[in-house]
Amino acid sequence: MTCAAGIDPTPAAGLFASIMPILTGHARLAGILGWPAAHSRSPRLHGFWLERHGIDGAYIPLPVRPERFAEAVRSLADLGFRGANVTLPHKEAAFAVCDAVAPEARRAGAVNTLTFRDDGTIEGTNTDGYGFLESVREAVPTWRAGAGSAVLLGAGGSARAVAAALLDAGCPRLTLVNRTRARAEALAQELGGAIGVAERAPLDEAALLVNTTSLGMQGQPPLAVDLAPLPRGAVVVDLVYVPLETPLLAAARARGLAAVDGLGMLLHQARPGFARWFGVEPEVDAALRDFVAAGIPARAP
Ligand SMILES: NC(=O)c1ccc[n+]([C@@H]2O[C@H](COP(=O)([O-])OP(=O)(O)OC[C@H]3O[C@@H](n4cnc5c(N)ncnc54)[C@H](OP(=O)(O)O)[C@@H]3O)[C@@H](O)[C@H]2O)c1
């Protein structure tokens, strides 16, 4: 595939990664606020789309210390940035700088996408839940949130966004299982609706199993869960994407179950921000996936 500048944006095309875009004075700017920000794959992801669509713009890493966060965000708006993504440790702090917060961000308890509006105000939203749902729909087109109950392992920040998205999409029953049970109970109470907490995952009736813990990530112990009780049509999703195929997903595939890795969520959650800042609806496809996945181990050693 070639993109706007006639360059093949595949991992083999080392040239692509080394070309600096030449911006005009009208260039649209966005970036990712984090501390640190160097590990983020978002500049690579948005950079691919900018290049593909031939957009006069740039998306850059913005490392900002927590104590300077609010000041930095306001400065970006003053400097003409269109917006920014927000990652750890700023996702909660980002609420305070927003003049308007979308319902998805309130439900998720975090802002991951800021838009600097023309009237000088700042709008915050959260696209993690959207990215999660879209990634499962892309990988398993027949999947419907309302088709059956779901089990979610974990009760941290990503669990909250995913749980809220599943409930809002019509999941009839959601069970949280977490090492620290009290945290799961607090989350269930806050979200409300068809959500409960269990000590052991009720897999025999689950249409969906989602790992939102960091277990299975490179350098972490694997997630110890026996998938045998899962019904045949169940879908298994792991938010972890380093490695791409975690031991959990390998076990799901070995049982013939649909297995969805965390990279798709990362790619899809970026789409709404890109569309707002750069004015083009970007697509998630194999070329983007390969480009962003370059260097991520395919499976655990
Ligand atoms: N694919 C994506 O786009 C995407 C987006 C966001 C996050 N993620 C991934 O999702 C994972 C979680 O992120 P997060 O932001 O939700 O983190 P977080 O808020 O720190 O929550 C971590 C969760 O993992 C559990 N946990 C950690 N170590 C554990 C252990 N040794 N045994 C059992 N449970 C353990 C925690 O349980 P306790 O409550 O008991 O501590 C908690 O439920 C990370 O791997 C992250 O990379 C992926």
**Phi-psi sector, 120: left (phi>0), alpha (psi -120 to 50), beta:** left
pLDDT score for 121: 96
| Full-model pTM | 0.93
Please state the φ and ψ torsions of residue 102, each to the nearest 5 degrees. -70, 150
> What pLDDT digit, counting tens, does each position of 91-129 carry?
889 999 999 999 999 999 999 999 999 999 999 999 999
Q: Quick one: pLDDT at residue 16?
A: 52
Residues 221, 223: Cα–Cα separation, whole Å: 7
Name the closest-CA residue to atom 17, ligand 1. 156
Share of the chain above pLDDT 90, in %: 90
The rounded mean pLDDT for the chain is 93
Residue nearest to atom 32 of ligand 1 (CA): 179
219 CB contacts (<8 Å, ≥6 apart)? none
| Model pLDDT, residue 123 | 98
pLDDT for res 300: 86
pLDDT at 19: 60
Query: Does 255 participate in catalysis according to the annotation?
Result: no
Give 297-301's long-range contacts (Cβ < 8 A, gap of 24+).
297/218, 297/242, 297/243, 297/244, 298/243, 298/244, 298/245, 299/243, 299/244, 299/245, 299/246, 299/250, 300/216, 300/218, 300/222, 300/243, 300/245, 300/246, 300/247, 300/250
Q: What pLDDT was estimated at residue 206?
A: 97
**Smallest Cα–Cα separation from 91: which of 77, 105, 74, 79?**
105
pLDDT digits (tens, 9 = 90+) for 201-214: 999 999 999 999 99
Low-confidence ranges of the chain (pLDDT < 50): 1-9, 11-13, 15
Q: What is the pLDDT of residue 225?
A: 95
CB atoms within 10 A of CB 78: 10
Q: What is the pLDDT of residue 7?
A: 42
Query: Cα(14) to centroid of ligand 1, in Å?
Result: 33
Q: Tell me how far the alpha carbon of residue 215 lies from the centroid of ligand 1, in angstroms.
A: 7
pLDDT at 20: 67
Assess whether the C-beta atom of 241 lies below 6 angstroms from ligand 1: yes
Q: Is the CB of 217 under 6 A from ligand 1?
A: yes
The CA distance from 160 to 212, in Å, is 9
What gap in Å lies between CA 144 and CA 167, rounded to an integer? 12
CB-ligand 1 contact for 178 (6 Å cutoff): yes
Catalytic residue among 28, 82, 90, 91: 91
Instruction: Determine whether the shortest distance from the Cβ of 179 to ligand 1 is under 6 A.
Output: yes
Spacing, Cα 106 to ligand 1 middle (Å)? 20
